[in-house]
């Protein structure tokens, strides 16, 4: 690859200096604190010399922010934005500017983490609660989750749910022949390793005889037809199978809901509620279920509970279903989902309200009916006379001529075998409809046809039930009100725009503003994922370079950009391993070794590909116990498929034995899956592909600056060595040179779109462009320095649990407050909540070691912020000492009552042993710049016992809305 980048302004190219927190002078001081002579010396003490990268990372010259944005403009100009009428699950939509500016482009929303600490997350939890309410109302079901990755994977999750929950214990699943093709493809991927058989057919004809545990129906179907699904659903129920309906949310404002038709589960995409298509994503998928299925629902669910004062407070509910607790027995492997996009979709509904959404739906339907009338007039037959926003036209031999004229009008149609599909959306104008007619060979005027158009929704399927009756969907109709509502919610939350978020394993680094700019440009935002490849030349240039850079960084030979989370990357990587063994005539290899310290997604992903998880012990140092590994490898030698290992380990240490571990596994025919979530400790210093790993995922939302969005989006591309490259995920849309044509072994797809959440790849791309190899390497070194600085400063107060033989930690460290529980009764929860009073987000709690805190500062935090954090931790240690010394019991201490709120400072009946000021403004914290969390400590047990996951409809509003 030729480096196309010629920086012109040397002085301005120092983006790396702004990305990295500590100044050169701070770095010198910090090196002294940790007792290292230089950064190089510190690296030599941290990483085993056997894995060090020999040549410096060279990715070309660094561009300044200005230059990088100019380059992005140039790439964007290579994409051609046609009007998309392709449909197939992706629609044009109008993102209200007030939501774009104040949510999508607002770091208070996009830099937040998954709301595991509910007290500092009430704003986004409320927005997600609104999302769930919206989904429950539109779907006519009882419980919805707070988003899944895309419609196709949501369908696969629903299939798995049906298999767990249905009475019918068969291994077959029915799929409507009229589901979106990418959904069918993802279902095939998911079903095959688990030995499930897909029966694809016409529900009206083929379902009766099928012996299945569940069935998936599309509503309206992929060609646009609106069918009555009640008979098919009844037929599924008669055999003890669960009925799943993939439904379009906008259509549901006019059509009877899946719940009303009898469905057990509804899934789909919330993309058309204001989220740009983005050449595939990110968007939020949804899933809703009947009450009886709620404990099997995958993904995160926001529930209502109470806080320490008995006031309502949101938090994540039923977490015991999830991978971090249930591991290989979890309901799914999902971790990162699509929170930011779910928030946008919920605000779109708050902005429009039920009448606004209905009006949009009516207008889209009206235009479609007019389009249909014109097409009939031009002599074309429609595949179905009952439709919402999509019609499919029989065009026979005239297809190519019509498509050519459509291209000349800058229209993309859905091209079928002798058919053309036309899907309208809220952006469609009468002029678009007239352009379609011209493509079909007729010069008709919209106004002339309008009178002859008739509604095409079947009378018996019209929606009669109210939806979005809760006040939140009525109270924010002016922009002023909505702006203030969004501001109110974001003010309740603590994101990176307020303070360091030292979450171990999550890499909460800077998401620079420049990195966030291009993704909302129409040339990146408004492309349909199945638009002709020639219209996406800018995107494909970006993909090719990004893949090359990621290969250079990791030492792998090929990259797939398809998986849209780390967990999906694991799934794709394990599928590749599985495909490789099968192609070598060893399909029986199905044992996956996973150390006890692994992230919960690892075992959950292994079980999704039908592998048997065998746990490998860790030794006292926290390293993989090589003797145990050797024993397990020998025991399972014949059936060994893979080891999944995180490096540096989840304990935050570079283990010396990594090469040896890889060799042992290889010598028994196994493959090495190296979880690359901790790549932030390696970029520029060591490459997994060089020291024995075969495949890794990279969390672009950790190491490569995609913001966490409060729990998504993310991207989890995988890198593989050459022998696994043929087994990277393919896609029916076939847009990738590596997977086009001759790839008989390609597995997958694993995502609805060929390049996953393509639009946010722009973020990682510019980051690398502005950092270059030198900047990235420096970032890694500072990430390691920052972690060692914290380890050094805190060790005397909270002992650091694991270090390497030379006393160094990698890019994160675990501190161990467990002994203090014996001496004072203070729990890790108390410390986490007390940190909120000091203005901080807690570190990662109880992962990977129960009762401990894992701290990851990243390179972006300055020395001043690290000091502020360490001071807070040390002050908390002093507060614990006061309990140890008997000043008061833990139950009476500020630690147990943390976090403190305005209700505490204003409490006239204050009767605690400590003063209100001591509770609210602990040592050294600013009174002026205090972050007030809106609720006291949230009661998790109460919330799970009294599960409330959507706003109860308010009768008064229900009537008012009629
Ligand atoms: C974050 C993480 C994952 C999962 O990544 P998601 O994108 O959240 O699915 C897997 N392994 C480790 C070690 C992680 O830290």
CA 574–ligand 1 middle distance (angstroms): 15
Q: Which atom of ligand 1 is nearest to the CA of 701?
A: 7
Please list, in sequence order, all residues whose beta carbon lies within 8 angstroms of the beta carbon of residue 819, skipping any fewer than 6 positions away.
Answer: 799
Q: What is the DSSP letter of 103?
A: I
pLDDT of residue 11: 44
CA pair distance 546, 665, nearest whole angstrom: 30
CA atoms within 13 A on the CB side of 869: 27
pLDDT of residue 327: 85
Q: Could you tell me if the CB of 335 is within 6 A of ligand 1?
A: yes
pLDDT of residue 947: 87
Q: Is residue 592 helix, strand or coil?
A: strand
CA pair distance 546, 689, nearest whole angstrom: 17
CA pair distance 561, 750, nearest whole angstrom: 11
* Residue minimizing CA distance to atom 3 of ligand 1: 566
The answer to whether 333 touches 570, Cβ cutoff 8 Å, is yes
Tokens of 958: 């229900």
The pLDDT > 70 percentage for the chain reads 96
pLDDT of residue 13: 57
CA 691–ligand 1 middle distance (angstroms): 22
Q: Could you tell me if the CB of 182 is within 6 A of ligand 1?
A: no
Please list, in sequence order, all residues whose beta carbon lies within 8 angstroms of the beta carbon of residue 600, skipping any fewer than 6 positions away.
Answer: 322, 323, 324, 325, 326, 327, 330, 335
Q: Could you tell me if the CB of 495 is within 6 A of ligand 1?
A: no
CA 335–ligand 1 middle distance (angstroms): 7
User: Which is nearest to 141 in space by CA: 346, 296, 289?
Assistant: 289
Please state, as a whole number, how many other Cβ atoms lie within 10 Å of the Cβ of residue 666.
15
Q: What is the largest CA-CA distance in the chain?
A: 90
User: Which is nearest to 130 in space by CA: 147, 117, 113, 115?
Assistant: 147
The answer to whether 250 touches 360, Cβ cutoff 8 Å, is yes
* Residue minimizing CA distance to atom 6 of ligand 1: 566
* Structural domains in the chain plus CATH codes: 125-300+318-349 (3.40.640.10), 536-756 (3.40.640.10)
CA 130–ligand 1 middle distance (angstroms): 26
Q: Is residue 776 helix, strand or coil?
A: helix
Tokens of 588: 């029986």
CA 702–ligand 1 middle distance (angstroms): 9
CA pair distance 399, 420, nearest whole angstrom: 7
Which residues of the chain carry a pLDDT beneath 70?
1-13, 734-745, 953-962
Coarse DSSP helix, strand, coil percentages of the chain, rounded to the nearest 5 percent = 45, 15, 40
Q: Could you tell me if the CB of 336 is within 6 A of ligand 1?
A: yes
Q: Could you tell me if the CB of 699 is within 6 A of ligand 1?
A: yes
Please list, in sequence order, all residues whose beta carbon lies within 8 angstroms of the beta carbon of residue 499, skipping any fewer than 6 positions away.
Answer: 839, 840, 841, 865, 931
Tokens of 245: 């309906």
CA pair distance 137, 131, nearest whole angstrom: 10
Q: Could you tell me if the CB of 565 is within 6 A of ligand 1?
A: yes
- Burial call 123-141: b when 16+ CB within 10 Å, e when fewer: bbbbbbbbbbbbbbbbbbb
CA pair distance 187, 609, nearest whole angstrom: 13
Q: Could you tell me if the CB of 675 is within 6 A of ligand 1?
A: yes
Quick: pLDDT tens for 643-666. Answer: 999 999 999 999 999 999 999 999
Return the ∠ at Cα 512 (arms to 151 and 763), rounded to 5°: 40
Q: Could you tell me if the CB of 812 is within 6 A of ligand 1?
A: no
User: Which is nearest to 315 in space by CA: 940, 845, 844, 833?
Assistant: 940
CA pair distance 543, 566, nearest whole angstrom: 18
Mutate to test the pocket of ligand 1, among 298, 323, 677 (most ligand atoms within 8 A of CB): 677
The answer to whether 177 touches 200, Cβ cutoff 8 Å, is yes
The answer to whether 672 touches 662, Cβ cutoff 8 Å, is yes
- For residue 28, how far is the Cα from the chain centroid? 38
CA 699–ligand 1 middle distance (angstroms): 7
CA 11–ligand 1 middle distance (angstroms): 37
pTM for this prediction: 0.97
φ, ψ of residue 628 to 5 degrees: the values are: -65, -40
Q: Could you tell me if the CB of 844 is within 6 A of ligand 1?
A: no
CA pair distance 700, 511, nearest whole angstrom: 11
pLDDT of residue 739: 41
Q: What is the DSSP letter of 417?
A: S
Q: Residues 659, 664, 668, 674: what is their CA dihedral angle, to the nearest 10 degrees?
A: -40
Q: Could you tell me if the CB of 649 is within 6 A of ligand 1?
A: no
Please list, in sequence order, all residues whose beta carbon lies within 8 angstroms of the beta carbon of residue 549, skipping any fewer than 6 positions away.
Answer: 59, 768
Helix (H) or strand (E) holding 265: strand 265-269
DSSP 806-856: TS---S-EEE--HHHHHHH---HHHHHHHHHHTT----EESSSSTT-EEE-
Q: Which atom of ligand 1 is nearest to the CA of 598?
A: 13
Pair type for strands 813-815 and 853-855:
antiparallel
Q: Could you tell me if the CB of 114 is within 6 A of ligand 1?
A: no
pLDDT of residue 326: 82
Instruction: Give residue for tokens 């095959």.
Output: 192
Quick: pLDDT tens for 132-149. Answer: 999 999 999 999 999 999
Q: Which atom of ligand 1 is nearest to the CA of 714?
A: 7
- For residue 388, how far is the Cα from the chain centroid? 30
Q: What is the DSSP letter of 629?
A: H
């Amino acid at each position: 690859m030729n480096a196309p980048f010629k920086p012109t302004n040397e002085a301005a190219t120092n983006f790396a200096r702004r990305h990295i927190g500590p100044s050169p002078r701070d770095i010198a001081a910090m090196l002294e604190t940790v007792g290292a002579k230089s950064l190089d010396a510190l690296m030599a003490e941290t990483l085993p010399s056997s894995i060090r990268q020999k040549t410096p990372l060279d990715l070309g010259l660094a561009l300044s922010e200005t230059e990088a944005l100019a380059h992005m403009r140039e790439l964007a100009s290579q994409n051609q934005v046609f009007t998309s009428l392709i449909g197939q699950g992706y629609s044009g939509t109008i993102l209200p500017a007030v939501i774009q500016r104040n949510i999508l482009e607002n770091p208070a929303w996009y830099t937040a983490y998954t709301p595991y600490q509910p007290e500092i997350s009430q704003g986004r939890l409320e927005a997600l609660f609104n999302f769930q309410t919206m989904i429950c109302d539109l779907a006519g079901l009882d419980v919805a989750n707070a988003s899944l990755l895309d419609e196709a994977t949501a369908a696969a999750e629903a299939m798995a749910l049906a298999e767990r929950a249905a009475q019918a214990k068969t291994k077959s699943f029915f799929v409507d022949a009229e589901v979106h093709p990418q959904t069918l493809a993802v279902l095939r991927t998911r079903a095959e390793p688990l030995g499930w058989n897909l029966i694809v057919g016409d529900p009206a004809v083929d379902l009766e005889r099928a012996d299945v545990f569940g069935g998936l129906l599309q509503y309206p179907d992929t060609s646009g037809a609106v069918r009555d699904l009640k008979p098919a659903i009844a037929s599924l129920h008669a055999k003890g199978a669960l009925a799943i309906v993939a439904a379009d949310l906008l259509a549901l404002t006019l059509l009877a809901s899946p719940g009303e038709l009898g469905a057990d589960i509804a899934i789909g995409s919330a993309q058309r509620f204001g989220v740009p298509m983005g050449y595939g994503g990110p968007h939020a998928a949804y899933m809703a279920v009947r009450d009886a299925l709620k404990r099997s629902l995958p993904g995160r669910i926001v529930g209502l509970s109470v806080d320490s004062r008995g006031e309502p407070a949101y938090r994540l509910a039923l977490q015991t279903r999830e991978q971090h607790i249930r591991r290989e027995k979890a309901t799914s492997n999902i971790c990162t989902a699509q929170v930011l996009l779910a928030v946008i979709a919920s605000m779109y509904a708050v902005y429009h309200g039920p009448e606004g959404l209905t009006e949009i739906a009516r207008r889209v339907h009206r235009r479609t009916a007019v389009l249909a009338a014109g097409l009939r007039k031009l002599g074309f037959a429609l595949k179905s006379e009952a439709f919402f926003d999509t019609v499919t036209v029989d065009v026979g031999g005239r297809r190519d001529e019509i498509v050519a004229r459509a291209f000349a009008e800058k229209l993309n149609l859905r091209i079928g075998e002798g058919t053309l599909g036309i899907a309208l959306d809220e952006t469609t104008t009468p002029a678009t409809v007239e352009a379609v007619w011209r493509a079909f060979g007729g010069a008709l005027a919209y106004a002339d046809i309008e009178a002859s158009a008739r509604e095409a929704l079947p009378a018996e399927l019209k929606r009669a039930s109210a939806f979005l009756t809760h006040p939140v969907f009525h109270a924010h109709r002016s922009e002023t009100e909505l702006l203030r509502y969004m501001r109110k919610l974001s003010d309740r939350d603590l994101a990176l725009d307020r303070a360091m978020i030292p979450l171990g394993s999550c890499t909460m680094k800077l998401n620079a503003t420049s990195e966030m700019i291009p993704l909302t440009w129409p040339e990146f935002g408004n492309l349909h994922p199945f638009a002709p490849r020639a219209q996406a030349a800018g995107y494909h240039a970006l993909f090719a370079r990004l893949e090359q850079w990621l290969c250079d960084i990791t030492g792998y030979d090929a990259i797939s950009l398809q998986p849209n989370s780390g967990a999906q990357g694991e799934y794709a990587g394990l599928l590749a391993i599985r495909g490789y063994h099968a192609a070598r005539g060893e399909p029986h290899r199905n044992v996956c070794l996973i150390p006890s310290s692994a992230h919960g997604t690892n075992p959950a992903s292994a079980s999704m590909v039908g592998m048997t998880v065998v746990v490998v012990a860790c030794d006292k140092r926290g390293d993989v116990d090589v003797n145990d590994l050797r024993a397990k490898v020998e025991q399972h030698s014949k059936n060994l498929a893979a080891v999944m290992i995180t490096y540096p380990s989840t304990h935050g240490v570079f283990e010396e034995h990594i090469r040896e571990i890889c060799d042992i596994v290889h010598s028994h025919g196994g493959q090495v899956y190296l979880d690359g979530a901790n790549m932030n400790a390696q970029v520029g210093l060591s490459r997994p592909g060089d020291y024995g790993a075969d495949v890794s995922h990279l969390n672009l939302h950790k190491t490569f600056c995609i913001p966490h969005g409060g729990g998504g989006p993310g991207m989890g591309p995988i890198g593989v060595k050459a022998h696994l490259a043929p087994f990277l995920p393919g896609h029916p849309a076939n847009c990738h040179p590596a997977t086009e044509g001759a790839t008989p072994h390609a597995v997958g797809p694993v995502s609805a779109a060929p390049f996953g959440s393509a639009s946010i790849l722009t973020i990682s791309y510019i980051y690398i462009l502005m950092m270059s190899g030198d900047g990235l390497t420096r970032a890694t070194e500072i990430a390691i320095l920052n972690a060692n600085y914290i380890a050094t400063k805190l060790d005397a107060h909270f002992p650091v649990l694991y270090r390497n033989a030379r006393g160094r930690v990698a890019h994160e460290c675990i501190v161990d407050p467990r002994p203090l529980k014996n001496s004072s009764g203070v729990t890790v929860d108390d410390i986490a909540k007390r940190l909120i009073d000091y203005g901080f987000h807690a570190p990662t709690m109880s992962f990977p070691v129960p009762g401990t805190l894992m701290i990851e500062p990243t390179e972006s935090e300055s020395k001043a912020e690290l000091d502020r954090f360490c001071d807070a931790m040390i002050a908390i240690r002093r507060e614990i000492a006061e309990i140890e010394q008997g000043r008061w019991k833990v139950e009476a201490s500020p630690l147990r009552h943390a976090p403190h709120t305005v209700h505490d400072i204003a409490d006239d009946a204050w009767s605690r042993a400590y003063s209100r000021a001591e509770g609210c403004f602990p040592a050294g914290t600013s009174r002026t710049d205090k972050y007030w969390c809106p609720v006291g400590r949230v009661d998790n047990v109460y919330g799970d016992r009294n599960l409330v996951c959507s706003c109860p409809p308010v009768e008064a509003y229900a009537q008012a809305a009629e």
